[in-house]
Structure formats: structure tokens, C-alpha cells
């Protein structure tokens, strides 16, 4: 059957294809878009910023890996980064003295990015450990905790990456210990002396104090036990040490006199020569003026012939705040090295209290920096103080059993007025600094405390027997024990605190 044309839908044929016209139309669209882009304001890139803003940005980068990467971008950025490095180094001392610093806290189990890290990838909590700074990293060795346990493990904290790693070295490890000295010479970490808990059995055993000297080479990852001369220091703990040229100089500490079976304090100075691998006791010129015997002082090397000793503790109610300058006098022949003590006059002694400055000062430029403690008691008393008329050290501890508590709340009696802080609040530590710019020329120094207006800036929580080292324009703290506001006991920390200077904003 045929369908009429009136009832049938007419099919629509497609328009004819004209490729040349379509291409012309597409080119017109592209040209219009290009004109729109060219006529719009140009986008600002980081390379277009002035040097002043780039300096401010670079100052906020990590002073370790990030700034090194910036230097490799282009010559302009290299020059700006070099200027930033110099600025950080020269201004950090002034920032610390005036308190223009803030504190970042890295808690155990959480990295610098806020990510949870697996167990075993973070150094365990401890105090009384040994610490040093080397090649962008914080190294810690040994220490003790709230149980009668001492360690000999070694950990490295990469300050650029914010990561811990355990150093599984070769060779002969140190005995597990705490309160030894740690110094760095060239590519070597030097550990001398130390203290450890007595063994659990048999009961009533004394502490152990060591005269071992171990050297760890960072490059070869190897420990070496140094067997020195017959003449060497007594076993020593809680002493101070620093490097002068090719020598290590140690001072003070609690010693063990095996002949007398006694544990007296010392004010002797011993020198270890790394070239000859020999110990010698420093002869003192003019014995009428010498520091009192003590443990826990701060010791810093000023130059090739001068060492500064600050504070220390001589026992209950004998916390020292004095400052001494030791001048090394080099001669010729055997035992030619001599020493001379000078007591440093404090220009403004009213600026400080006698309860501070007996542990963990850190040299920053022409100042020695300390963090204020609230307690008038020495944190060393639980370890290095005992009643010589009764039990030997450790006897009392063994009677208390394995639940040894060296970290009681008695170490945190605040000097603040009543009501200045609640019983459940966590106190923080203010910054003190000792200006030593004139100490060699005139044997004078002056204390300074950060401004009270800095109270709103973050500071490390109050703690004891932590370590503090200087990195690249940073102070780095680790460990220690602190007051638990929810418990009558204290807690041992594995936190890292990084103190950085504040930067101006634009």
C-alpha cells in the first residue's frame, strides 16, 4: 500500500560538511581565548617576589635539608639562602637572650607531620642520658628510667626529616649507664665514666661507677674501648667534659675510690690526649683559689686555652651558682700542661636565684643558655648523694625493691607565689643566659632573663635530667622526667622539644 506524501514525515538530511569553514571557526575561538589571556593581568610567581619576601619565606624553612635544596634552585636563590643562613646564625643568640623564640614539641609515636609511627621507631623514654649534635642529627646514648634499668643503646634523630632511627653499630659497646660525659671531636663521639643501678641480686649491692672511655666513629659506625695508661681518673659520674684542641678535659663528679671504698666528690681536672691515648691529671697553679668539689656542672670551651665552669651541686642544700674560668698553660716537656683557676665576678648577681644553673647549660655565641628550674633540690641527689655514715649507695634503694622512685614530686616545689598556678597545671621553663663576652679579658660575666612579656610564647614543660644541644640556629631538648599533674608520681619523657627563633611578619 502506498502512503501519500501528506501523511508521511519528511526525513531531514544532514547539513553539508565544510571542513575549511570549521577550521577557520576553531582558529577564531583559539585566537579570542589567546587575546583574553594576554589582556588579563599576569599571574605572580614566587620567582617574581622581591628578595626581602623570599628571605622571610626561607627563614621559615628547616635549616637542614630544605635550605640546602633551595641553594640548588638558581644563583639568585643560592645567594638569598646563604644570606638567610648567616642571619640565622648571627641572630639566634640575640633571639634566645631576649626570648624571641618558640617551642615545637614532637611527642613519642607521632612524627613532625602529625602521623602515627609504628612502635620501635622512636627512642624510649629516659633521663640522665648522654647526647650530642653531629651532622644535622641529635644522637642520644644510654640513660635510665623509673625502673632500676640503665641502657647502652644509641639513637639518631634526623632534625631535617623529624625521624628517629636506631644506630646498630659494631665493636665493643659501652656498659649500660647514665650520667656519663659525651663530647664530639672530629667524626667521633667520646663517652667517659658513668653510673648504673646496682644489680638486683644479691641484695644490698652498691652502685656501679665506671672509668671506661669509649669512642664511636660516625663514619664507620663502630664503637672502640680505649685502654689508656695506668694513670687514669677514678671511676667518675656526674662530671663535666669538653674538647680543647686534640684533648678532652673533664672536671669534678662523684668518684669511686676503690682503695678507701668511698664515694667522695671531686674538683680534680683530668686531661685525655687523643694523639697519645694517655691520661694526665692537670697540675693547678695557685691552689688557694679553686672551685669546691661538685657534680653536675656545666662546662664549655671558650678557645684553645680557656674553659668555663658554671654551677654544680655539692650535696643537700649545696647547689652552686658560681662561675669559674680555667686557663690552660702549655709548656714543654712531660707534664708541661698546667692550669690556673680564676673565679668570675658576676656583675648582676641579683638577677638570678641560687636554685638554678647547675645542669645542662648550652653555649650559644657569647652566652651560656639555661632553662629555669622551679625546685631548690638537685635532680642528682637520687643518684649521686648518700649518707656516708650509713648504707653505701644503692643499699637504701634495694630495700625499697624494684619500684625504685628517683622521680618523686619533691623535685617540683615551685617558687611561684601561692595561687600562681593550679596543682593540676604544667609549669614551663623560662630562659636565662650568662653573658660571657668579657669573661676572658676581665673575668666578669652578667646574667639576663628573658622578658616577662614572652610569657605567652610556648616553652618546654618543666623537667629534670633532660639533654639540651645546639643545632643549626636551634636548641634541641630530649627526655627527662616531669611532674604528672594527675598522679603523685612523675613520668619519664621521650618527647623532643625544638626551640626556634621567631621571624618578623610582612
Question: Tens digits of per-residue pLDDT, 6-24?
Answer: 444 454 555 555 556 666 7
59 phi and psi angles, rounded to 5 deg: -65, -25
User: Quick one: cell of 99?
Assistant: 626570648
- Choose between 253 and 331: higher pLDDT: 253
pLDDT of residue 411: 47
- Choose between 442 and 462: higher pLDDT: 442
Helix H or strand E segment including 382: helix 381-384
Please write the tens of the pLDDT for every residue from 300-316: 999 999 999 999 988 87
77 phi and psi angles, rounded to 5 deg: -65, -35
Helix H or strand E segment including 284: strand 283-285
Q: What mean pLDDT comes out for the span 145-152?
A: 88
pLDDT of residue 9: 46
Candidates 425, 415, 314, 307; CA nearest to 368 is 307
* DSSP state for residue 262 in the 8-state scheme: B
* DSSP state for residue 49 in the 8-state scheme: S
d(CA 204, CA 226): 31
Please write the tens of the pLDDT for every residue from 65-83: 888 889 999 999 999 999 9
d(CA 125, CA 140): 11
pLDDT of residue 401: 30
User: Quick one: cell of 185?
Assistant: 671531636
Residue 170 neighbours by CB under 8 Å, 6+ apart: 220, 221, 222, 223
Strand, helix or coil for residue 98: helix
What does the chain come to in residues?
506
Residue 254 neighbours by CB under 8 Å, 6+ apart: 195, 209, 236, 237, 238, 263, 264, 265, 266, 295, 384
Q: What mean pLDDT comes out for the span 433-451?
A: 93
Q: How many CB atoms lie under 10 A from the CB of residue 37?
A: 9
Residue 262 · residue 320 · CB < 8 Å: no
Q: How many CB atoms lie under 10 A from the CB of residue 395?
A: 17
Residue 448 neighbours by CB under 8 Å, 6+ apart: 97, 351, 432, 433, 434, 435
β-bridge partners, 104: 498
Tell me the pairing of strands 298-301 and 283-285: unpaired
The CA radius of gyration of the chain, in Å to the nearest whole number, is: 31
Under the banding of pLDDT at 50, 70 and 90, the label for residue 235 is very high
Q: How is the chain split among helix, strand and coil, in percent rounded to 5?
A: 20, 35, 50
pLDDT at residue 454 greater than cutoff 60? yes
For the chain, list the domains and their CATH numbers. 50-88 (1.20.1280), 122-453 (2.120.10.80)
d(CA 130, CA 238): 11
pTM higher than 0.85 for the full model?
Answer: no
The rounded percent of the chain whose pLDDT value lies above 70 is 75
Candidates 430, 465, 462, 474; CA nearest to 133 is 474
Residue 446 neighbours by CB under 8 Å, 6+ apart: 346, 347, 348, 351, 434, 435
d(CA 83, CA 59): 10
DSSP per-residue letters across 313-348: E-STT-EEEEEEEEEEE--SSTT--EEEEEEPEETT
Candidates 409, 423, 431; CA nearest to 482 is 409
β-bridge partners, 446: 435
pLDDT of residue 420: 37
d(CA 207, CA 62): 43
Average pLDDT score over the chain: 81
Residue 64 · residue 500 · CB < 8 Å: no
User: Quick one: cell of 300?
Assistant: 664549655
Please write the tens of the pLDDT for every residue from 380-419: 544 554 333 333 344 333 333 323 344 444 444 444 433 3
d(CA 294, CA 383): 14
pLDDT at residue 474 greater than cutoff 90? yes
User: Quick one: cell of 450?
Assistant: 628573658
pLDDT at residue 372 greater than cutoff 70? yes
User: Quick one: cell of 238?
Assistant: 656526674
Residue 277 neighbours by CB under 8 Å, 6+ apart: 226, 228, 229
DSSP per-residue letters across 398-432: HHH-S-----BGGGG---SPTTSS-TTPPPB--EE
pLDDT at residue 173 greater than cutoff 90? yes
- Choose between 348 and 98: higher pLDDT: 98
* DSSP state for residue 273 in the 8-state scheme: E
* DSSP state for residue 77 in the 8-state scheme: H
Amino acid at each position: 500500500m502506498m502512503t501519500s506524501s501528506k501523511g508521511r514525515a519528511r526525513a531531514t538530511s544532514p547539513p553539508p560538511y565544510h571542513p575549511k569553514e570549521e577550521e577557520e571557526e576553531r582558529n577564531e575561538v583559539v585566537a579570542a581565548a589567546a587575546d583574553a589571556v594576554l589582556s588579563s593581568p599576569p599571574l605572580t610567581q614566587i620567582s617574581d617576589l622581591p628578595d626581602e619576601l623570599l628571605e622571610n619565606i626561607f627563614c621559615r624553612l628547616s635549616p637542614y635539608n630544605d635550605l640546602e635544596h633551595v641553594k640548588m634552585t638558581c644563583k639568585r636563590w643560592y645567594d638569598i639562602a646563604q644570606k638567610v643562613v648567616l642571619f640565622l646564625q648571627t641572630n639566634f643568640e640575640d633571639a634566645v637572650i631576649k626570648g624571641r623564640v618558640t617551642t615545637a614539641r614532637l611527642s613519642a609515636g607521632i612524627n613532625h607531620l602529625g602521623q602515627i609511627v609504628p612502635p620501635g621507631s622512636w627512642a624510649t623514654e629516659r633521663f640522665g642520658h648522654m647526647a650530642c649534635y653531629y651532622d644535622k642529627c641529635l644522637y642520644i646514648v644510654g640513660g635510665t628510667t623509673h625502673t632500676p634499668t640503665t641502657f647502652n643503646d644509641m639513637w639518631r634523630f634526623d632534625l631535617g626529616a623529624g625521624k628517629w632511627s636506631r644506630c646498630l653499630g659494631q665493636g665493643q659497646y659501652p656498659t649500660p649507664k647514665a650520667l656519663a660525659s659525651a663530647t664530639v671531636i672530629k667524626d667521633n663521639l667520646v663517652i667517659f665514666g658513668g653510673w648504673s643501678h646496682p644489680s638486683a641480686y644479691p641484695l644490698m649491692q652498691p652502685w656501679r661507677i665506671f672509668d671506661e672511655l669509649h669512642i664511636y666513629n660516625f663514619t664507620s659506625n663502630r664503637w672502640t674501648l680505649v685502654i689508656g695508661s695506668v694513670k687514669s681518673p677514678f671511676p667518675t659520674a656526674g662530671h663535666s667534659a669538653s674538647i680543647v684542641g686534640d684533648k678532652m678535659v673533664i672536671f669534678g663528679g662523684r668518684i669511686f675510690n676503690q682503695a678507701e671504698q668511698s664515694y667522695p666528690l671531686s674538683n680534680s681536672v683530668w686531661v685525655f690526649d687523643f694523639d697519645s691515648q694517655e691520661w694526665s691529671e692537670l697540675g693547678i697553679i695557685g691552689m688557694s683559689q679553686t672551685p669546691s668539689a661538685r657534680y653536675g656542672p656545666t662546662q664549655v670551651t671558650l678557645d684553645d686555652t680557656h674553659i668555663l665552669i658554671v654551677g654544680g651541686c655539692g650535696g643537700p642544700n649545696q647547689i652552686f651558682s658560681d662561675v669559674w674560668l680555667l686557663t690552660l698553660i702549655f709548656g714543654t716537656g712531660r707534664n708541661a700542661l698546667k692550669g690556673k683557676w680564676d673565679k668570675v665576678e658576676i656583675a648582676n648577681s641579683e638577677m638570678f636565684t641560687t636554685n638554678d644553673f647547675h645542669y645542662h647549660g648550652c653555649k650559644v655565641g657569647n652566652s651560656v643558655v639555661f632553662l629555669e628550674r622551679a625546685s631548690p633540690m638537685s635532680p642528682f641527689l637520687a643518684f649521686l648523694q648518700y649518707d656516708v655514715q650509713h648504707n653505701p649507695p644503692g643499699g637504701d634503694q634495694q630495700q625499697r625493691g624494684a619500684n625504685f622512685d628517683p622521680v618523686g614530686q619533691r623535685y617540683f616545689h615551685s617558687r611561684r607565689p601561692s595561687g600562681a598556678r593550679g596543682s593540676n597545671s604544667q609549669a614551663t621553663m623560662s630562659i636565662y643566659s650568662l653573658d660571657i663576652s668579657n669573661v676572658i679579658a676581665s673575668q666578669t660575666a652578667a646574667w639576663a632573663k628573658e622578658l616577662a612579656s614572652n610569657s605567652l610564647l610556648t616553652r618546654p614543660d618543666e623537667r629534670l635530667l633532660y639533654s639540651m644541644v645546639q643545632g643549626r640556629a636551634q636548641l634541641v631538648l630530649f627526655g627527662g622526667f616531669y611532674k604528672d599533674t594527675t598522679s603523685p608520681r612523675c613520668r619519664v619523657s621521650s618527647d623532643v622539644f625544638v626551640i626556634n627563633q621567631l621571624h618578623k611578619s610582612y
